[in-house]
Structure 1
């Protein structure tokens, strides 16, 4: 069974989201895109709630959230039961968070 991941971003994170999706698929993830679907201005909570809600409900093993600073999405996602969101600015932060914090 393929691992399932959902990814979402606001307008500030749209381009990065699009660039990450092929890498996730190549790494063996079944990728679901929760939006935004272009770089038109949107509100980050709309997409953060979709991703965090589906991870919280167990529909996806992992989620990736991208916004202008990463702070808003992280705060929002951590309000959902069972979700452990962390702001990662580089690969090392992500690796250590997975290793030590079960994120």
Structure 2
């Protein structure tokens, strides 16, 4: 799978660890984040990942900042993006099954790295349920973007 990953200064370590894990598993990973611990704006990195997903340059996106909140808000501003902030694997599974989320957000200061890895695996391996009520709700979200 081709995946874009982005982060701000608050999530350099998690980005690097997750990128290495994904590459070792055979995924193609596009690094849209920073490697600097100097303060920078999460908005730029959330947007960069979201645009790659929205333009179909990659299949999925992962965004990480200190809490995951700001960068998820930024990603969700891009038309066609459904970014879910997840702190456990149940949330990761449900955001894929119910919301067909195409971007995952996490917070380095909120969850441990092993939990983050499990969340990534769950997010990437869970298909959308294609349930009628879920498709209807996603269509309503798309209408809001017009």
TM-score, normalising length: structure 2? 0.65
Aligned residues: 101
1:87 aligns to 2:96 (yes or no): no
Q: Give the aligned partner of residue 8 of structure 1.
A: 6
Return the match for 1:96 from 82, 94, 97. Answer: 94
Once the 2 structures are TM-superposed, how far is the Cα of residue 53 of structure 1 from its aligned partner? 1.1
Please list the CA deviations of residues 4-61 of structure 1 after superposition, one character each: whole Å capped at 9, or x if unmatched: 1000000001111111112222343211111212222111111111111111111111
Higher relative contact order (CA 8 A, sep 6+): 1
Partner of residue 66, structure 1:
64
- Under a length normalisation based on structure 1, what TM-score does the superposition of the two structures give? 0.89
Match of 1:55 in 2: 53
Match of 1:47, SS state, is helix
Matches of 2:93 and 2:41 in 1, distance apart?
29
Superposed CA RMSD: 1.2
